[in-house]
A = this chain, B = another copy of it.
Amino acid sequence: MNESQAGTRHSAQSSCSRASRCLIFGDASVAQKVLTKDANVTSLGQLGWGVAVTLGVLVSGGVSGGHINPAVTVAMAVWGKHPWVKVPVYVIAQYLGAFMASSMVYAVYLNALDAFEPERSLATAGIFATYPGAMTASNGTLVTDFLSNGNGMGDQVVGTMLLLICVCAITDPRNMEVPKALIPLFVGFTVLNIGVCFGFNCGYAINPARDLAPRFFTLIAGWGEQTFTAGTFDGIAWWWVPLVGPHIGAVMGVGIYLLLIELHHPEAQEFS
């Protein structure tokens, strides 16, 4: 095994453990929110995800550049900012890490889940994966299934697009010169903000690994098929929306940043 292979393996291990840690914090903060019946959509629970991302990037940013989201890794590869050869091992590590994190949160909150509901329902499935929400209309009617798959897809595309524009700006050395140690902080602020702004429709997955791997975990850990059939609208299931949407949005986000900002840096103008 040569050094490059060792480097990739190391990065994959790190990516996996990092994604785990990030998910552990994120899922756990939602668990605490669901189990306490905190009805406030815009709440400190979102701080959990924001700070979790900060800490996830912080812990192993030095080894593998802080990739914890397959949508980010693939989009960077599409635009030539990340080697394609490293993508598969990164992505597998991200899914494995998310799966491990789900099982650890499940273990820590096992007593509480059993006390909360003997039969597992979507309410607690939402601790792990995302589902389109219900809402109360202005006249007080409860509206379930208000979100069409098309609108949900738009939500995921826009959310991840904004995430990537911000991530590109934060890590662009020619923009605001963010020092290495502050990158995790600003990425965490970005995720916090997307949560505060786009959590309402369907819970801002904006990361395929963070959504699909925990969904598989809940499928086999007692929640059953509802984890994949819930949110079906006009005969089309929900689960693939937070898988496909973030990948589309991420590619768009990096492209927009390159087009609008990076090409306009003074250094780049020499070539215009």
Contacts and interface: CB of A to CB of B under 8 A. Distances in A.
Interface stretch (A186-194, A206-214, A222-230): A186-194
Contact of A165 (B21, B48, B155): B21
A143 interface: yes
A13 B181 contact: no
Given A42-B43, A189-B54, A148 B14 contact: no
A162 B24 contact: yes
Given A108-B158, A189-B55, A201-B111, A63 B183 contact: no
Contacts of A26: 197
Interface string A37-60: 110111111111001101101111
Contact of A115 (B28, B135, B184): B135
A154 B108 contact: yes
A62 B183 contact: no
Interface stretch (A68-76, A82-90, A234-242, A260-268): A260-268
Interface residues of A, number: 104
B58 A24 contact: no
Number of copies of this protein chain within its complex? 4
Q: Which of A117, A148, A169, A183 gathers the greatest number of chain B CB atoms within 10 Å?
A: A169
A110 interface: yes
A126 interface: no
A42 B139 CA distance: 24
Nearest to A144: B115
A198 interface: yes
A176 B24 contact: no
B196 A32 contact: yes
A144 to B, nearest CB: 10
12 contacts: A17-B260, A29-B197, A35-B135, A47-B193, A51-B193, A55-B189, A55-B193, A63-B175, A63-B261, A63-B264, A116-B138, A123-B138
* Complex A-B, nearest 8 residue pairs according to Cβ-Cβ distance, in ascending order: A28-B197, A62-B175, A115-B146, A10-B264, A59-B169, A51-B193, A111-B151, A178-B181
